Amino acid sequence: MISGSSLTPELLQAMYGEQAKLCTSPNEQLTLVFSQHRAFDLVELEQLLEAVGWSRRPVRRVRKALDHSLLRVGLWRHDARIPRLVGFARCTGDGVLEATIWDVAVHPLYQGAGLGKQLMDYILDCLRALGTERATLFADPGVLPFYQRLGWDLEPGGHRCGFWYAN
Amino acid sequence: MISGSSLTPELLQAMYGEQAKLCTSPNEQLTLVFSQHRAFDLVELEQLLEAVGWSRRPVRRVRKALDHSLLRVGLWRHDARIPRLVGFARCTGDGVLEATIWDVAVHPLYQGAGLGKQLMDYILDCLRALGTERATLFADPGVLPFYQRLGWDLEPGGHRCGFWYAN
């Protein structure tokens, strides 16, 4: 449902690119858009991730990581002049057999309204469209219920996730 | 230690590419080489993965997946005419923040001699050289002891791995 800020299909595509999609909004005043192509301000992105509790990473490394990701999705609060980034997720992977989803975040002020679910649905639709067979992710303890509610198979058949750090 | 098949540094590079490295062999008759560049016969690769118990995947999809991987490592039994693939692993990732290791396999006839450990060490050295901060993997229940022995942090702090399938 398009709210008062009059986002036509032409403007949607011009500002947010091909495959942009409106996100169902909890608030008539709020137009929310999923975009795979609108460029990120990396400082704004790191602020979003910090708002959900993660440490900041060097901007240069984030830029390189985003450039080498399979998929990048921003959830934008639409504004005709300055859209604001309120959600994000990205995938790495080979685009065929495996994709791993990272950095899933919805700004705390926008949580609790089903936007995380819509973000995950949007990403999985993108992966289906790419022809990817399987997606994986690593869930922090605090968000296990979120992924379980969305139907993710957590730790199927005794699989464990393993981590290694370079330093 | 170079065995009777006389693998000179020049031949090593010509057959196995830059960054090729001898793998310590359990058997004087056996020269083993890690390579990031020697081309795979995809049927031979799928036979190796099937030998360790995995289902075969369509060759066309495997080719695309390999082309879009961050890193591909073959462990080859050296022969001046026809080297044989006896081990394999690959990574997907952004090359900076995250890398995920997939398809780690050592042929059953070559297991039990520490080759899996050398394979993992080689991959992690490659990732360090790329500047990747962290590596992740999903461990089948049967190989948890293997990764634990290598010092991997399995399921740290209550993280769970999540899986989703497209079909």
pLDDT digits 0-9 by tens, B102-143:
999 999 999 999 999 999 999 999 999 999 989 999 988 888
Alpha-carbon gap, residue A162 to B139, rounded angstroms: 7
Res B1: pLDDT: 45
Task: Give CA–CA dist B83/B32, Å, rounded.
Answer: 9
Residues of B in contact with A121 (CB under 8 A): none
B45 CA: distance to closest CA in chain A (Å) = 15
Nearest to A164 among B96, B134, B144 (CB): B134
- CB of A137 within 8 Å of a chain B CB? The answer is yes
Residue B56 binned pLDDT confidence (cut-offs 50, 70, 90): confident
> Alpha-carbon distance A141 to A31, whole Å?
31
State yes or no: pLDDT of B30 exceeds 80: yes
**pLDDT, tens digit, for every residue of A34-84?**
999 999 999 999 999 999 988 889 999 999 999 999 999 999 999 999 999
| Residue B125 Cα, gap to closest chain A Cα (Å) | 9
| Beta carbons of A18 and A37 less than 8 angstroms apart | yes
| CA dist list (Å): A145 to A15, A123, A125, A140, A141 | 34, 19, 21, 10, 9
In whole numbers, what is the pLDDT of chain A averaged over residues?
92
B84 strand-pairing partners: B77
- A47 CB neighbour count, 10 Å cutoff: 13
Helix axes B42-51, B59-67, angle to 10 degrees: 100
Q: Are A90 and A105 in contact (CB under 8 A)?
A: no
B139/A160 touch (CB, cutoff 8 Å), yes or no: yes
Contact B94/A66, CB-based, under 8 Å? yes
Of B92, B136, B161, the CB nearest to A155: B161
Question: What ipTM score was computed for the predicted complex, to two decimals?
Answer: 0.87
Q: What pLDDT sits at residue A4?
A: 46
B116 in contact with A at a CB cutoff of 8 Å? no
Q: Which residues of B51-90 are buried (b: 16+ CB within 10 A; e: fewer)?
A: ebeeeebeeeebebbbeebbbbbbbbbbeeeebebbbbbb
Predicted TM-score of the model (pTM): 0.90
Least Cα separation, residue A2 to chain B (angstroms): 30
Q: Does B56 lie at the interface with A, CB-CB under 8 angstroms?
A: no
**For B2-15, what is each residue's pLDDT tens digit?**
444 579 999 999 99
